[in-house]
Every structure is written in C-alpha cells, then in structure tokens.
Amino acid sequence: MATKGKRTRAIEQTVDKTKAYSVSEAVKLVKSNAKAKFDESIEIAINLGVDPKYADQQVRSVVNLPAGTGKDVRVAVFAKDKKAEEALAAGADIVGAEDLFEKVNGGFMDFDRVIATPDMMGLVGRLGKVLGPRGLMPNPKVGTVTPNVTQAVKDAKGGAVEFKVEKAGIVHAGVGKASFSDADIEKNVQAFISAVVKARPSGAKGTFVRKVTLSSTMGAGVTIDLAEAKS
C-alpha cells in the first residue's frame, strides 16, 4: 500500500471526516487546500440512491453552471450547409459531415463535446463504439441533438455540463477552478445539486441524494450537509 505524502496528510488533517459542512464552509476549505502549482479543478461527487442497471433509475441531464466551468471546451458539430455555417458562426471548433465522420472514425478525438443536427444522427450513430465509451455520443435529452446548433454551441462553450450516473450510483462533475471566487463556486455547486435533484428518475425509491462531496484535484473530499445543500 502506497504511503501518503506529507502534503496529503496535512490536507487531510484540516478536514473533519465526521462533519457535514455548509456549502460556504466546504468551498472555503477546499479552496484553502488547493495549493498545487496549477489551477486545480473543483469537483463535486453525489452518491445517489439508485441502481443504474434498471432503466427507470437512470439519471442523465445537463446543467448550465452560472459561473461557467473555467475550461476551454472544444466543440465538434455534425451539420451540413446552413446549419454548418451557423455552428461555425457560434464558435464551434470543428464542423463537418461525412468528412468529420471519417476523421473521427480514423481516431481523431480533439474535442470535448459533440453536437449533431437530427438529420446527421444516422451517420453519427455509426460512431457509437467510438464516442459512446467516452461519453461523447450526442443525445436529445441533454440538448446535443438539436436543429438549434447556435444555442447548443453557445451553451457548451458557456458552462453547460452534462452528467450521467455511473454504475456505482455516483454522479460527478467539475464545478469550477480554485481561482474562482467563493461566491462563483457556491453558485455552481448549488446549481449542479439542484439539477441532479430535478433529474430524479421515476424508479428511485427512498432517499435520492445520499451524500455530496466537494474536493479539488489534489485535495481531500469535504462532505456537504444535505439539508443545507438543497435549501
């Protein structure tokens, strides 16, 4: 078993593992421990009372973080003609149809989000084995299959974050950077939690949100008080 470094042990000692912190307290603590030489990402993880192997307990949606993500999101759009022009005008990084299909099918993956117009899904669907495992397959439920490519590109660039429950019943996402103000991170955390609560599936029974943890890339997890988080 690997021995924890001095810095890791020091960070863990600042966190009371028996305590559930308010969002404000958690943000301050996580930021104070983000002392790496790079701008650490602030991550949220939510443990849910669902079993994703059942179709009626799937959790998947999208949320627009009010303070953005702090990341430069590269967007690829499958579209033709006028829609392709609209996507480029909106700021898409890569736009194409059959030509883009060939590039992606050949291993090109220099993008973080994929958007497609509905008429392109017959083509994009053939990339399921390439895009699916990376969570990049366009889906109408999260607004990435749409005729309104202008809005979809702007959302993706401006702070839209997709989330999907994993096998262990956990949803996680980045909600900012350590360089963000406390207020901006707090707004993003609250927005993300609210979006997850709203995405509660019909098959979920009992307590839906069981635990919320906030951390930075190199920091320890800080548990957030559930009642305060959803207020």
Q: What is the pLDDT of residue 12?
A: 67
Mean pLDDT of the chain: 92
In the chain, the percentage of residues whose pLDDT exceeds 70 is: 94
Q: What is the pLDDT of residue 17?
A: 84
In the chain, the percentage of residues whose pLDDT exceeds 90 is: 82
Q: What is the pLDDT of residue 7?
A: 61
Whole-angstrom distance, CA of residue 152 vs CA of residue 53: 29
Q: Determine the length of the chain.
A: 231
- What are the residue ranges spanned by the domains of the chain? 15-68+161-229, 75-158
Average pLDDT over residues 175-189: 96
pLDDT at 216 > cutoff 70: yes
CA angle 184, 146, 118 (to 5 degrees): 155
pLDDT in tens, 30-50: 999 998 899 999 999 999 999
Average pLDDT over residues 148-175: 93
CATH superfamily of this structure's domain 15-68+161-229: Ribosomal protein L1/L10, rRNA-binding domain (3.30.190.20)
Q: How far is CA 176 from the centre of its chain?
A: 10
Helix axis angle for 81-90 and 149-158, nearest 10°, is: 30
pLDDT in tens, 84-143: 999 999 999 999 999 999 999 999 999 999 999 999 999 999 999 999 999 899 999 899
pLDDT at 73 > cutoff 80: yes
pLDDT at 11 > cutoff 80: no
Query: What pairs with residue 116 in β-bridges?
Result: 78, 145
Q: What is the pLDDT of residue 35?
A: 87
Average pLDDT over residues 158-163: 89
Burial class (CB in 10 A: 0-12, 13-18, 19+), 19: exposed
| 75-158 shares the fold of 15-68+161-229 | no
- With the CA atoms of 188, 56, 137 and 40 taken in that order, what torsion angle do they form, in degrees rounded to the nearest 10? 30
Q: What is the distance in angstroms between the CA of the first residue and the CA of the last residue of the chain?
A: 40
- With the CA atoms of 108, 114, 118 and 122 taken in that order, what torsion angle do they form, in degrees rounded to the nearest 10? 30
Alpha helices by DSSP H, the chain:
6-13, 23-32, 81-90, 98-105, 121-124, 128-131, 149-158, 182-198, 226-229
pLDDT, greater one: 230 or 103: 103
Q: What is the pLDDT of residue 1?
A: 47
pLDDT, greater one: 6 or 26: 26
In CATH, the architecture of 75-158 is: 3-Layer(aba) Sandwich (3.40)
pLDDT at 231 > cutoff 80: no
Q: What is the pLDDT of residue 6?
A: 64
